[in-house]
Amino acid sequence: MADTIQFELVAPENLIFTGDVELVVVPGSEGDFGVLPGHANVISTVRPGIVEIHEAGEVKERYFVAGGYAEVTAERCTILSTEALPFSDLDEDIAKKRIEEAEADIKKADTDAERDRSENSLNIARAMLENAQN
């Protein structure tokens, strides 16, 4: 068994990260899970949160993801995210503005579909704010 696993983080029209890593921690819909070489095959939804990339026994890089899907095999972990950005780019003011906009969109939503999209945007913005403050 190799000591690393191939990891890719993909956002729409953008490859955010690709490389061999020791461990990836994924914010799965049922809770965070770690991916090491030799991991069992898994497909999971990803909730808004932080992806951690570990090398040499410590966190080397962190990315905020707005949600998406993760596919894991023994050799590879791929996250297809609806939005992703480096943790260092999280901005409290931007997150607060997105919360205000999403709350306004919820109030003026005419259909259940519009309300659901706005509530999803609100959940993402809240997760951004929570992580920006940490």
Q: What is the helix (H) or strand (E) element at residue 44, kind and residue range? A: strand 42-46
In terms of domains, do 60 and 103 share one?
no
Backbone angles phi, psi at 57, to 5 degrees: 75, 10
**Over the stretch 65-78, which tens digit does the pLDDT of each residue have?**
999 999 999 999 99
- Percent of the chain at pLDDT > 70 equals 99
In terms of domains, do 96 and 76 share one?
no
Token pair, residue 109, equals 């939503």
Separation between Cα atoms, residue 100 and residue 31, nearest integer Å: 27
For residue 48, the 8-state DSSP code is S
Round the CA-based radius of gyration of the chain to a whole number and report it.
16
In terms of domains, do 98 and 46 share one?
no
**Over the stretch 103-133, which tens digit does the pLDDT of each residue have?**
999 999 999 999 999 999 999 999 999 998 8
Number of domains in the chain: 2
Token pair, residue 96, equals 């607060």
In terms of domains, do 29 and 49 share one?
yes
